[in-house]
A and B are shown apart, each in its own frame.
Chain A
């Protein structure tokens, strides 16, 4: 299997004396999409932020490319990792082109190269550069903003992509569209991706493996077949909630999976 891209080794995160996460042992394999699934408050965001050191573990170590994040220069670490959050955090005062070009510009790339990069990133997320380059975030739909957020995160060509409920703020139709579009992106540029969601459907659509969190603890890691067949009560509850959403009462939960 080789060295994991990201590894949590006995990681605990405490705030105000309370354990919010852990102890957590977890490995993310190179190029896989690992989905952190759990109800809100289960510690998903906390786990994600430990990877790019927006938070620092109280105990244990988080390893990126085999090296503890504490030993990385934090700026280098973060520029090595793409980060997409709900509502994207696009800079409202920057045009789409400046938003997407942000990291290449910080990395000191020459202007022509940046322009080319921005255009190719926009095309990657299926936005016409001609039409969108000069727009501002408030002139985009929610789905378009989210795609620009993905383009921005990929523009620095990071090896790792972290996504925190990236599609959570979208209406169901736009969400389905952006999810499909993101699958296309993933086929073309493979990244080690950790995606946080509370949406089982999204997890099943985008994940290679699903890590189930509850109350700051890891309940288990499941491949898709394992997740669909596990007799674990929590997994079964997630499956039930999900198939309930599909509006085919009584339908076997395998039904929706290709």
Chain B
């Protein structure tokens, strides 16, 4: 095993970086779309059912199938990593949209009423009250999505998008446990690190309770 690590260390490092890139890029996109979408839902409650419902449906598509569905999408070009990033971002949307919505609607009604009564505009309300007070809940959604993405990203290798899945698929084909572990262990470590790091941030941003 040690010998194996020594020989493959460059490849392990490269694939880990690829993996991190897939997850980071997809999470970036998912946050940029999901948080504003969640905010929009709090302003237009009618959209809630269709949007959350749609995101739920995406979640039920098996990941391998979703990667496959996206292969022919013309605007993604031929680059496998873009397809993988799109698929991962789609999966990440649900927890992020849902937690943004839940976080903001969960803000203490007394605080909200006082803010409105004092004449905060709805934009001031968003930036000074709603976002700060729901940040930890939103981050919890991002954390869930990230941990999920790190796992699902291993499947991206099936469409040639790289990442730690390369080892796993190769190991499966060659019935080689060391190869599978070379993919699985770094992926598990990444997931654990993301979980701990974002969990720490989440706790720090949790507003004090009165």
Contacts and interface: CB of A to CB of B under 8 A. Distances in A.
Contacts of A138: 208-210
Contacts of B128: 91
B118 A83 contact: yes
B113 A91 contact: no
Given A85-B110, A106-B120, A90 B208 contact: no
Interface of chain B, main secondary structure: helix
Contact of A106 (B113, B124, B208): B124
B207 A52 contact: no
13 contacts: A52-B117, A54-B116, A78-B119, A85-B113, A85-B117, A88-B110, A89-B117, A91-B115, A92-B208, A93-B208, A106-B124, A138-B210, A152-B118
Contacts of B116: 54, 78
B119 A76 contact: yes
Interface in B60-105: none
- For chain B, which range describes its interface: under 10, 10 to 19, 20 to 34, or 35 or more residues? 20 to 34
B210 A106 contact: no
B103 to A, nearest CB: 13
B114 interface: yes
Nearest to A80: B119
Given A90-B210, A93-B132, A93-B207, A85 B119 contact: no
Interface residues of A, number: 32
Given A136-B208, A138-B208, A145-B210, A92 B119 contact: no
Contact of A79 (B113, B114, B118): B118
Interface of B: 108, 110-121, 124, 128-129, 132-133, 207-210
A86 B117 CA distance: 13
A89 B114 CA distance: 5
A87 B110 contact: yes
A129 B117 CA distance: 25
A137 interface: yes
B114 A75 contact: no
A211 interface: no
Contacts of A106: 118-120, 124
Contacts, number: 74
B118 A102 contact: yes
Given A137-B210, A138-B209, A138-B210, A89 B110 contact: yes
Given A83-B118, A149-B114, 20 more contacts: A75-B119, A75-B121, A77-B119, A78-B116, A78-B117, A89-B108, A89-B112, A89-B113, A90-B111, A90-B114, A90-B210, A91-B115, A92-B209, A93-B132, A103-B118, A106-B120, A136-B208, A138-B208, A138-B209, A162-B117
Interface string A126-144: 0000000000111000000
Interface string A80-122: 0111011111111100000000110010000000000000000
Contacts of A91: 111, 115, 128-129
A230 to B, nearest CB: 33
B15 to A, nearest CB: 41
Considering the complex of A and B, which 8 residue pairs feature the smallest CB-CB distances, nearest first? A89-B114, A78-B119, A83-B117, A79-B119, A89-B110, A138-B208, A93-B207, A137-B210
Nearest to B119: A78
B124 to A, nearest CB: 7
Contacts of B129: 91
A6 B79 CA distance: 67
A103 B119 contact: yes
A233 B106 CA distance: 44
Contact of A89 (B111, B124, B208): B111
Nearest to B129: A91
Name the residue in A75, A136, A137 with the highest tally of chain B Cβ atoms < 10 Å from its Cβ.
Answer: A75
Contacts of B110: 85-89
Contacts of B112: 89
B106 to A, nearest CB: 13
